[in-house]
Chains A and B, each alone.
Chain A
């Protein structure tokens, strides 16, 4: 099974990377961009029963893969 995890900066957190990317896109002529947020994408290949895997990945996201002070996460199992 594969866990596909997306980690993004919380809305209230300053995201200078997102801002820099937004500026670059605007300089390139892309119009109408409201905001850009730069996050992380991870894939974890893992074996096990679906519910138990879901629980483990959720715990790992909370403890290590994201920092709850500054980041949100969501994931899906495939």
Chain B
């Protein structure tokens, strides 16, 4: 599979994402923010960092970059798009995902390993998550508190768009388990069509046991699995 990893000025997790995809045995390349095409990409990763210096609001300026217009088109055609950290913020600003990510309730930048509970395996980003098992993946952000109004939250729940919750080591989504104060402990969501997903934690930093966890692989491998199933369905 071919993954396109976007690069904005001040992206800083782009290299980790490209490395993680290559470790998993797939092709990965950078796409500069001024590019207008994603060429032959099978999937897009909007990586973490501080695009455009986080000026104005995180992700606010990146959403208007030429490459994001290509991503809008790619997503409209059903292409798989995964946002990680700043990528989540960018996809929300772009209107590809509902809600917004605001300053952590503690006002602290939080950098630590967290536990994630997968709420549904019915998505291209979570289909390989083993039922009942928690994922151990690091977070590193200052503005990751998920916010949406009541109606949006209710819709996310009803349509099973909430993919991951922050939880403790027993799988309980307690208030103290969310490093940022996210509403409902939301760590990751997808759109209604289920082809655009995002999370604040960094799966690309957890793809090798040497780094303390390889649970992040499941997210990228889920995407690969979803793409393979599409290819099989098209061939049939």
Contacts and interface: CB of A to CB of B under 8 A. Distances in A.
A16 B105 contact: yes
Contact of A13 (B61, B64, B147): B147
B103 A16 contact: yes
B103 A67 contact: no
B60 interface: yes
Contact of B102 (A14, A20, A65): A14
A64 interface: yes
B200 to A, nearest CB: 16
Interface string A1-41: 00000000100111011001000000000000000000000
Q: How large is the interface on A (under 10, 10 to 19, 20 to 34, 35 or more residues)?
A: 10 to 19
Contacts of A17: 103, 107
Contacts of B64: 64
Nearest to B64: A64
B57 interface: yes
Nearest to A70: B100
A69 B107 contact: no
B145 A14 contact: yes
B144 to A, nearest CB: 12
Given A16-B105, A16-B106, A65 B145 contact: no
B60 A13 contact: no
A46 B65 CA distance: 23
Nearest to B183: A14
B107 A16 contact: yes
B149 interface: yes
Contact of B148 (A9, A65, A69): A69
B149 A12 contact: yes
Interface in A36-68: 64-65, 67
Given A14-B145, A64-B64, A69 B103 contact: no
B105 A65 contact: no
Interface of B: 56-57, 60-61, 64, 92-93, 98-100, 102-107, 145, 147-149, 181
30 contacts: A12-B149, A13-B102, A13-B147, A14-B105, A14-B145, A14-B147, A14-B181, A16-B103, A16-B104, A16-B105, A16-B107, A16-B181, A17-B103, A17-B107, A20-B107, A64-B56, A64-B60, A64-B61, A65-B56, A67-B60, A67-B93, A67-B100, A69-B98, A69-B99, A69-B100, A69-B148, A69-B149, A70-B100, A70-B102, A70-B147
Given A64-B61, A67-B93, 6 more contacts: A17-B107, A64-B64, A67-B100, A69-B98, A70-B100, A70-B147
